[in-house]
Chain A
Amino acid sequence: MPEIRRVSTATNPDTGAAGTTAAAAVSSVARPAAPVHARKPEGFSVAGKALPRADSYAKVTGAAIYADDIALPRMLFGKLLRSTQAHARILRVDCSRAQALPGVVAVATGEELPVRYGILPSSPDETVFAIEKVRYVGEPIAAVVADDELTAEEALNLIEVVYEPLPAVMTIDEALRDASPKIHEESRRSDNVHKEVHLEFGDVEAGFAQADAVFEDEFFYEGNTHAAIEQHAVVADCSADGKITIWSSSQTPHYLHRIASAVLQVPASRLRVVAPPIGGGFGGKTEPFPHELAAAHLARKTGRPVKFALTRQEVFYTHRGRHPVKMKIKTGVKRDGSILACRLQTWLDGGAYGSYGVATTYYTGALAPVTYKMGAYAFDGCRVYTNKPPCGPKRGHGTTQPRYALECQLDKIAGALGLDAAAYRKRIAIDPYSETINHLRVTSCGLRECIDEVERRTGYSGRHGALPRGKGIGLAVSAYLCGAGLPIYWNPMPHSGAIVKVDRGGGVTVYCGTSECGQGSEHMLAVVVAETLGVDVMDVRVCAGDTDLTPVDLGSYSSRVTFMAGNAAHEAAESVRLRLAQAAGALLGIAPERCGFAARRVFDVGDPDRAVTFLEAAQAAEARFGTLVGSGSYTPPANLHGDFKGSGVGPSPAYSYTACVAEVGVDLETGEVRVERLTLAHDCGRALNPDIVEGQIEGSAYMGLGEALLEESAFRRDEHKIPNLLDYKTPTILDTPHIDAIIVETDDREGPFGAKEAGEGPLNPVIPAIANAVADAIGVRVYATPILPESVLRALDASPSGRLRLKSAPSPVPV
């Protein structure tokens, strides 16, 4: 099993040591002479090592306390009454019988919490409980808290809700109609469009006119959900002095803090949000939810701690998962495949509320050009409201769907032009240290190296188009953000802050507002701090996700933590290191600049045997400077994007790159697709912990597999058809193929010790790689996800040539 999985591809700007290719250095366009953060010429002592995660000891012993594990004295249990109507006016909500049930302590309804909110300031369209109208089956209308959960549940049955049903809007097409029933009456539009975007870079029509061939395709990407194993849970408490504490399985404690303050009408200074370890997020726990706000409200109302723990069905209703997206993509190419123009159109089914949807809409257009050079690019995006649980961000946020469309179409183009799909992608790949057609700044980029790696491991080029019928191999690539370049609410403050404290016992603590949802964020902070101070990772205690104790970090989403919080922690640690170096330098009789830090020692870099212990240095520094605390913060550079409306979504201080090859077998009689192997190469900058990076790649591959073949948000009439983990099909261990995760290291000049992201990017190419492999296996293409057995059979049936081996597509459409 162990093969060498790490490939170093880039040149280290400090050491000048050349890697396997010099791509990153050679094609540098706008590269500053000095790196942002000083590197240590002597190499790393903990960064880059496959060390055990500090948080895993508590997780393997059952000692880790997640939100639902919290139990406080006199705690009450809450339940939410949820709408049984997809779209209706609420005529009356009568809680009197519920309130009278013995064991019930309080109820709450909409008028008690009328403040409208939304995670994006541009879409404040939600309230904690539905007021006047319900907009999807499962929307909260009221809450009950009782001595125990069964009593609360029984009380829900005693609440009387009188509805006036309205016609429900359940599809994108219905929502686009002028005459469709309005879901949000305050919208000035006559249809149910939530957000419309039109962007053009260069002259797309001119590009099509000059093209040797133009390809037009339509794809549909089905919605799906995060399905983290932990169901959302919250405990809230209100102390006698009126201060409210919320412990919640939230990826974004800061946003919950902000919005809870607004909704509860409590100053943020009287509110504390704590994010305990989270049992999986994937984007599903990134915005404030009714159960969290209701818990805080009812804790205040009753003066007792309140817990809400959602059932699995409620998690499906809470959703905020992957948007279903209809896509049209039109690409004009020269005979050699160079892209002269590309127009991407997307229609997103947003569900009942805004959520992150405005950002999602932009994201469906923003990242396509981050992988490829294009002569011109246009994007039209449109998100509609429907009467379904709201969609939001899921791993790959908005970029997953168009990536599927683009990579499938590129395979068709390669086939039609007789190009090897791997060589073709490498030829049109974006260059490191360049700018995309939509004015995004690209820094380190190992895309070509990633393609090389998966090609080499799988023999893709020799096998694609040459395997026996029923066997297929497919390739796709993608790019992803290392955090968003702009905050979701406008402000000039840092995106991440960190404090590092060194105590006189030699212990180190880093405080940062990130939340650990399984991705290893706490470990990453510990690695950055340990590397900077030359201590062991296990010497570093991480205090995260607590708005009372930790500086703000915007949260664990958009793959931002390693990069942004890592940089903040690095800066904080550097500031302490400076004082330690001064004190240790004095003890050693050398200048502070000559102090090196490693193995719990501070030493003379010119004579490493001359050293003091880290503890001696810490005590000397505390004696000289007082309490040793350093702070750091991270704000992305300002030059990441162009200057146009909508330019705020898509820019990132760095992009990760991935290539994936999928190998499949298709049963031509049953249509069943069996993925035999997934090979992924991912450019994560420098891998601060290769085990964690591999784990992120493997998990992404698995999750992409589920989206490609099994998972779908299905509806029956106007309610979720399968809101449970038996019928919603997440892959089991037996459905998961062999996964080869290859780390391609570039050295990003702005990432902490050169690191970029690994948590989301590797998901994106998996779906089109599988789709391309299926097309290779059966000679026809399925234009929608998930690729279900019945879709495969339909495609085979419908294609006149489908029952023949068809390895290249018909001639391209002549212009």
Chain B
Amino acid sequence: MSVAPPKMLATLRVNGAEIACAFNPNRTLLEVLREDLALTGTKHGCEMGHCGACTVLVDGETVLSCLTLAVECVDREIVTVEGMAGAGELHPLQRAFVECGAAQCGYCTPGMLLSAAALLESNGAPRKSEIEAALAGNLCRCTGYVKIVEAVALAAERMREAAHA
């Protein structure tokens, strides 16, 4: 490759683990996650911010990894779909997506899950309109969004019940 500036060494905190890596400054978080760290659960459908498939959490906020440089994420907490499930146990959102049939082709699913996770972090009892607003940056081409909204509502309900228990 021509005129590539040298790689930078950095430590990224991904799904709770500190990972030392080296990347060029023009590498997006999406590229580093998928291609350097083999975290291919993060998908991409445009790399231009037009679809939301590459959504991950950075410091708890939904971020498009295609329009974020990896270098901008140093010292920040990155969560991908691989980091949602606990040891041997699905996140309530993941479980609800399975049970409601909210994942068809599954390609928008990781991004949807993380957008939904960010919502439930700040709003444990979202109305339907609030779920829709939170998912307005994630395109799905399979489901008509119906079962996705049902799944998020179901997961929220279960998380509230678990919190009360």
Q: Do A's and B's CB atoms come within 8 Å in the complex?
A: yes
Q: Which residues of A contact B (CB under 8 A)?
A: 1, 50, 52-53, 55-66, 68-69, 71, 102-103, 147-148, 150-151, 154, 226-231, 277-282, 311-312, 517-520, 691-692, 694-695, 698-703, 724-726, 730, 732-734, 736, 739, 741
Q: Quick check: is B142 within 8 A (CB to CB) of the other chain?
A: yes
Distance from A420 Cβ to chain B, minimum over Cβ atoms (Å): 29
The one of B38, B39, B133, B143 that contacts A695, using a Cβ cutoff of 8 Å:
B143
A66 to B105, CA, bound (A): 10
Interface of A is mostly: loop
Please determine whether B136 and A725 come into contact, CB atoms closer than 8 angstroms.
no
Please determine whether A724 and B50 come into contact, CB atoms closer than 8 angstroms.
yes
Please determine whether B141 and A730 come into contact, CB atoms closer than 8 angstroms.
yes
Please determine whether A230 and B47 come into contact, CB atoms closer than 8 angstroms.
no
Give the most central of A69, A103, A151: most B CB within 10 Å. Answer: A69
Please determine whether A730 and B139 come into contact, CB atoms closer than 8 angstroms.
yes
In the complex, given contacts A699-B144, A725-B50, A736-B144, what are 11 additional A-B residue pairs having Cβ atoms less than 8 angstroms apart? A56-B97, A66-B40, A228-B105, A229-B108, A280-B104, A312-B50, A695-B146, A724-B46, A726-B50, A734-B132, A734-B136
Q: What are 12 pairs between A and B in contact, CB < 8 Å?
A: A56-B97, A56-B101, A58-B106, A60-B81, A61-B85, A66-B43, A230-B43, A280-B142, A312-B46, A518-B106, A702-B144, A702-B145
A229 to B107, CA, bound (A): 7
For the side of the interface on B, what is the size category? 35 or more
Please determine whether A61 and B90 come into contact, CB atoms closer than 8 angstroms.
yes
From 28 to 54 in chain B, residues with beta carbon under 8 angstroms from any chain A beta carbon are 34-35, 38-51, 53
A50 to B100, CA, bound (A): 9
Please determine whether B105 and A150 come into contact, CB atoms closer than 8 angstroms.
no
A231 to B151, CA, bound (A): 26
Distance from A533 Cβ to chain B, minimum over Cβ atoms (Å): 23
Please determine whether B81 and A62 come into contact, CB atoms closer than 8 angstroms.
yes
Distance from A713 Cβ to chain B, minimum over Cβ atoms (Å): 16
Please give, as numbers and ranges, the residues of chain A lying within 8 Å of B90 by CB-CB distance: 57, 60-61
Please determine whether A57 and B81 come into contact, CB atoms closer than 8 angstroms.
no
A197 to B141, CA, bound (A): 34
Please determine whether A59 and B139 come into contact, CB atoms closer than 8 angstroms.
no
Contact bitstring B89-116, A, C-beta under 8 A = 1, else 0: 0100010011111011111111001000
A741 to B150, CA, bound (A): 14
Distance from A735 Cβ to chain B, minimum over Cβ atoms (Å): 9
Residue of A nearest to B49 (CB): A726
Distance from B130 Cβ to chain A, minimum over Cβ atoms (Å): 12
Distance from A751 Cβ to chain B, minimum over Cβ atoms (Å): 21
A692 to B101, CA, bound (A): 7
Please determine whether B43 and A279 come into contact, CB atoms closer than 8 angstroms.
yes
Given the interface pairs A56-B98, A734-B133, the reply to whether A517 lies near B105 with Cβ below 8 Å is yes
A103 to B3, CA, bound (A): 13
Please determine whether A56 and B46 come into contact, CB atoms closer than 8 angstroms.
no
Please determine whether A53 and B98 come into contact, CB atoms closer than 8 angstroms.
yes
Please determine whether B82 and A62 come into contact, CB atoms closer than 8 angstroms.
yes
Given the interface pairs A60-B103, A703-B141, the reply to whether A1 lies near B1 with Cβ below 8 Å is no
Please give, as numbers and ranges, the residues of chain B lying within 8 Å of A519 by CB-CB distance: 104
Residue of A nearest to B150 (CB): A1
Give the most central of A56, A66, A691: most B CB within 10 Å. Answer: A56
Q: Quick check: is B140 within 8 A (CB to CB) of the other chain?
A: yes
Please determine whether B82 and A61 come into contact, CB atoms closer than 8 angstroms.
yes
Please give, as numbers and ranges, the residues of chain B lying within 8 Å of A68 by CB-CB distance: 40
Residue of B nearest to A62 (CB): B41
Q: Quick check: is B55 within 8 A (CB to CB) of the other chain?
A: no
Please give, as numbers and ranges, the residues of chain B lying within 8 Å of A278 by CB-CB distance: 105
Please determine whether A701 and B81 come into contact, CB atoms closer than 8 angstroms.
no
Please determine whether B142 and A695 come into contact, CB atoms closer than 8 angstroms.
yes
Please determine whether B43 and A229 come into contact, CB atoms closer than 8 angstroms.
yes
Distance from A697 Cβ to chain B, minimum over Cβ atoms (Å): 8
The one of A60, A226, A691, A698 that contacts B109, using a Cβ cutoff of 8 Å:
A60
Residue of A nearest to B4 (CB): A150
Give the most central of B106, B108, B133, B136: most A CB within 10 Å. Answer: B106
Distance from A144 Cβ to chain B, minimum over Cβ atoms (Å): 13
Give the most central of A68, A147, A700, A732: most B CB within 10 Å. Answer: A732
The one of A1, A103, A277, A282 that contacts B141, using a Cβ cutoff of 8 Å:
A282
Distance from B146 Cβ to chain A, minimum over Cβ atoms (Å): 4
Please give, as numbers and ranges, the residues of chain A lying within 8 Å of B140 by CB-CB distance: 229, 733
Q: Quick check: is B138 within 8 A (CB to CB) of the other chain?
A: yes
A725 to B94, CA, bound (A): 27
Given the interface pairs A56-B106, A725-B46, the reply to whether A280 lies near B40 with Cβ below 8 Å is no
Please determine whether A60 and B97 come into contact, CB atoms closer than 8 angstroms.
yes
Please determine whether A733 and B141 come into contact, CB atoms closer than 8 angstroms.
no
Distance from A395 Cβ to chain B, minimum over Cβ atoms (Å): 10
Please determine whether B138 and A230 come into contact, CB atoms closer than 8 angstroms.
no
Distance from A809 Cβ to chain B, minimum over Cβ atoms (Å): 32
Given the interface pairs A53-B101, A229-B53, the reply to whether A733 lies near B132 with Cβ below 8 Å is yes
Given the interface pairs A61-B90, A62-B80, A725-B51, the reply to whether A699 lies near B106 with Cβ below 8 Å is no
A734 to B49, CA, bound (A): 17
Top 4 closest A-B pairs, CB basis?
A62-B41, A518-B105, A59-B106, A279-B107
A71 to B37, CA, bound (A): 12
A226 to B139, CA, bound (A): 13
Distance from B122 Cβ to chain A, minimum over Cβ atoms (Å): 18
Distance from A394 Cβ to chain B, minimum over Cβ atoms (Å): 12
A278 to B99, CA, bound (A): 21
Please give, as numbers and ranges, the residues of chain A lying within 8 Å of B147 by CB-CB distance: 691, 694-695, 698
Please give, as numbers and ranges, the residues of chain B lying within 8 Å of A65 by CB-CB distance: 40
Given the interface pairs A61-B94, A103-B1, A701-B144, the reply to whether A280 lies near B47 with Cβ below 8 Å is no
Please determine whether B41 and A63 come into contact, CB atoms closer than 8 angstroms.
yes
Given the interface pairs A56-B106, A699-B142, A702-B145, the reply to whether A733 lies near B101 with Cβ below 8 Å is no
Please give, as numbers and ranges, the residues of chain A lying within 8 Å of B43 by CB-CB distance: 66, 229-230, 279
Residue of B nearest to A227 (CB): B141
The one of A71, A102, A277, A732 that contacts B35, using a Cβ cutoff of 8 Å:
A71
Distance from B80 Cβ to chain A, minimum over Cβ atoms (Å): 7
Please give, as numbers and ranges, the residues of chain B lying within 8 Å of A59 by CB-CB distance: 103, 105-106, 109
A114 to B71, CA, bound (A): 46
A736 to B145, CA, bound (A): 8
Please give, as numbers and ranges, the residues of chain B lying within 8 Å of A700 by CB-CB distance: 144
Please give, as numbers and ranges, the residues of chain A lying within 8 Å of B143 by CB-CB distance: 695, 698-699, 702
Please give, as numbers and ranges, the residues of chain A lying within 8 Å of B144 by CB-CB distance: 698-703, 736, 739
A685 to B58, CA, bound (A): 47
Give the most central of B41, B107, B110, B136: most A CB within 10 Å. Answer: B107
Contact bitstring B131-165, A, C-beta under 8 A = 1, else 0: 01101101111111111111000000000000000
The one of B35, B42, B85, B104 that contacts A699, using a Cβ cutoff of 8 Å:
B104
Distance from B81 Cβ to chain A, minimum over Cβ atoms (Å): 4
Please give, as numbers and ranges, the residues of chain B lying within 8 Å of A61 by CB-CB distance: 41, 81-82, 84-85, 90, 94
Please give, as numbers and ranges, the residues of chain A lying within 8 Å of B84 by CB-CB distance: 61
Distance from A520 Cβ to chain B, minimum over Cβ atoms (Å): 7
Please determine whether B136 and A733 come into contact, CB atoms closer than 8 angstroms.
yes
Distance from B150 Cβ to chain A, minimum over Cβ atoms (Å): 7
Residue of A nearest to B82 (CB): A62
